[in-house]
Amino acid sequence: MAGGILVVGSLNCDYVATVARMPAPGETLSGLDLQIHPGGKGANQAVAAGRMTDASMEVRMLGCVGRDAAGALLLDSVRRAGVETDAISELEDVPTGSALIWVEASGQNSIVVIPGANARLSPDDIRAQEGLYWKTRVALHQLETPLETVHAALALGRQRRVITILDPAPAQTLPAEMLDLADLLTPNESEAAILLGEAPRALTVEDAYAMGDRLLELGTRAVILKLGAEGAVFLNRLQRFHVPGFAVRAVDTTAAGDTFNGALAAAIAEGMEMQPAVRFACAASALSVTRRGAQPSVPSRDETEALLAANPEKP
């Protein structure tokens, strides 16, 4: 079906430890809780896109898992969100990717990712699924699979006139020729700073516009800079605007950015104008931080629209 969403990326099993505070180097600290959730930036974004669309919009995922219990957990999770998984390879000789996540009582988190099967996703795998791009309007990408694979996926998307979204996370510098293939770059504050070779810092809206202008100079066609509780700013060569955040009580920020991207892709694929699309994504992201876990925290379309209705835009 033309107009669908394709997510190219990672699938991880998340092991989430809740702690009162982060341990100091060399310190052993008693944790408060341990939970196991399906995660991975790619799978999180696929689940978000799946929950934000109805049966008329197909969402597909391209990636790799191990043929193990963690892989089965992930496949079940994305399928229950309505995501097609035929292009997810189950590999025999490598474990499913995993993430070790520490979440403080404040909701802030620290994450260590072990790639596992995600490292096996290759440019050849992308080219073997070229037919998916004929059915795709929006393609989502992240950086938890090899860079050459992400580059190949972006290049194929550009060739097939797909709207390419690149979430540059985990944060790292990227070659200009790769950024040039992204129609829309969606970093948070830290990721934007690292792309520009700067130390991460909190940004005002005006700071974000200035940083966004510099990101446009790197080659991408448009930027959405995610500002957490402050919402997001959008800018391209012709337009710029700020969407304020939604007031919620944060308990876990894991997958907030992924929820934003999946919801954004759904809105764009449906033909929504950019400003309401960004506001829709901000609302979905805000709801996600009120719950623990990655994919379990992703809200439904109805919940997102209810939050938007309860917070009408100010004239």
Question: pLDDT tens digits, residue range 73-108?
Answer: 999 999 999 999 999 999 999 999 998 988 887 777
Residue-number span of the structural domain to which 275 is assigned: 4-11+40-96+117-310
- CATH number, domain with residue 195: 3.40.1190.20
Residue 112 belongs to a domain:
no
Cβ neighbours of residue 273 closer than 8 Å, sequence gap 6 or more: none
Residue 90 belongs to a domain:
yes
Residue 33 belongs to a domain:
no
Cβ neighbours of residue 187 closer than 8 Å, sequence gap 6 or more: 167, 168, 169, 171, 195, 215, 223, 225, 226
Residue in the block written with tokens 């043929």:
67
Residue 129 belongs to a domain:
yes
Residue 44 belongs to a domain:
yes
d(CA 124, CA 238): 37
Please confirm, yes or no, whether 167 is among the known catalytic residues.
no
In total, how many domains does the chain have?
1
User: Residue ranges of the alpha helices (H) in the chain?
Assistant: 41-51, 69-80, 123-128, 130-133, 147-159, 176-179, 189-195, 205-217, 256-269, 274-288, 301-310
pLDDT at 274: 97
pLDDT at 2: 53
pLDDT at 294: 83
206-211's contacts with Cβ under 8 Å and 24+ in sequence apart are 208/233, 208/242, 209/233, 209/235, 209/240
pLDDT at 315: 66
Residue 240 belongs to a domain:
yes
Residue 27 belongs to a domain:
no
d(CA 214, CA 150): 22
Output the pTM of the full model: 0.93
**Mean pLDDT, each 10-residue run in order, the chain (315 residues):** 85 92 92 91 97 92 98 97 97 95 81 93 97 96 98 97 96 94 97 94 93 95 96 97 96 91 97 97 97 90 96 83
pLDDT at 306: 97
Residue 302 belongs to a domain:
yes
pLDDT at 96: 98
3-state secondary structure 114-177: ECHHHHHCCHHHHHHCHHHHCCEEEEEECCCCCHHHHHHHHHHHHHCCCEEEECCCCCCCCCHH
Active-site residue among 167, 207, 258, 302? Answer: 258
Helix (H) or strand (E) holding 91: strand 83-91
